[in-house]
């Protein structure tokens, strides 16, 4: 699998903080209800903290009360890559940045949230960077 943005691990480590590296490159998970964007309602675009690709927008963000920023759809369907994840004894769908392959979170569906897709992209705040809308 080749991504548009690929770097050796040491470059990612130099570019990212240790906590960013742990989540983005080692598929870690930040603690629930601690991430900086969990309850953020600011209008804007959420980009990949590793490569800057635009991934989600505030329009699709909703309050899931699960402890992580939740979106019912990505900004563009091609912006993220979905990968089957059977780690930790669970069958889940991992969400990665389609441009650099960095780990963002997981997507769940059929949970009954009143959103247009009934999907919940459960994304680590630390994987994203919010660029607030101007004016």
Which residues does the annotation mark as catalytic? 122
Query: Binding-site residue total for Zn ion (CB under 5 A)?
Result: 8
Q: With CA atoms as reference, report the closest residue to 102 among 37, 38, 20, 39.
A: 20
Helix/strand/coil for 10: helix
The region of 32-40, 50-58, 72-80, 117-125 touching Zn ion under the rule CB under 5 A is: 50-58
Q: Which residue, 104 or 113, has its beta carbon nearer to Zn ion?
A: 104
Q: Is 23 in the site for Zn ion (CB under 5 A)?
A: no
Answer whether 109's CB lies under 8 Å from 64's CB: no
Kindly give, in sequence order, each residue whose CB lies less than 8 Å from that of residue 49, ignoring residues fewer than 6 positions away. 16, 20, 24, 102, 126, 127, 128, 129
Kindly give, in sequence order, each residue whose CB lies less than 8 Å from that of residue 35, ignoring residues fewer than 6 positions away. 67, 68, 69, 124, 125, 126
Q: Which residues 87-126 are close enough to bind Zn ion by CB under 5 A? A: 97, 99-100, 102
d(CA 102, CA 117): 24
Shortest reach from residue 52's CB to Zn ion, in Å: 7
Q: Is 51 in the site for Zn ion (CB under 5 A)?
A: yes
Q: Which tokens sit at 90?
A: 């669970």
Q: Is 25 in the site for Zn ion (CB under 5 A)?
A: no
Q: Which residue, 51 or 122, has its beta carbon nearer to Zn ion?
A: 51
Shortest reach from residue 39's CB to Zn ion, in Å: 24
> Which listed residue (16, 23, 50, 95) binds Zn ion by CB under 5 A?
50
Q: Is 79 in the site for Zn ion (CB under 5 A)?
A: no
The residues that touch Zn ion, with contacts defined as CB under 5 A, are 48, 50-51, 53, 97, 99-100, 102
């Amino acid at each position: 699998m080749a991504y548009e943005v690929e770097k050796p691990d040491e470059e990612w480590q130099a570019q990212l903080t240790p906590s960013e590296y742990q989540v983005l490159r080692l598929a870690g998970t930040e603690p629930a209800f601690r991430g900086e964007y969990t309850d953020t309602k600011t209008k804007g675009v959420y980009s990949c903290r590793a490569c800057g690709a635009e991934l989600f927008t505030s329009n699709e963000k909703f309050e899931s009360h699960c402890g992580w920023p939740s979106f019912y759809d990505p900004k563009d369907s091609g912006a993220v890559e979905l990968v089957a994840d059977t780690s930790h004894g669970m069958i889940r769908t991992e969400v990665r940045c389609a441009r650099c392959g960095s780990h963002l979170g997981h997507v769940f569906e059929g949970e009954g949230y009143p959103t247009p897709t009934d999907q919940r992209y459960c994304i680590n705040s630390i994987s994203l960077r919010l660029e607030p809308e101007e004016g």
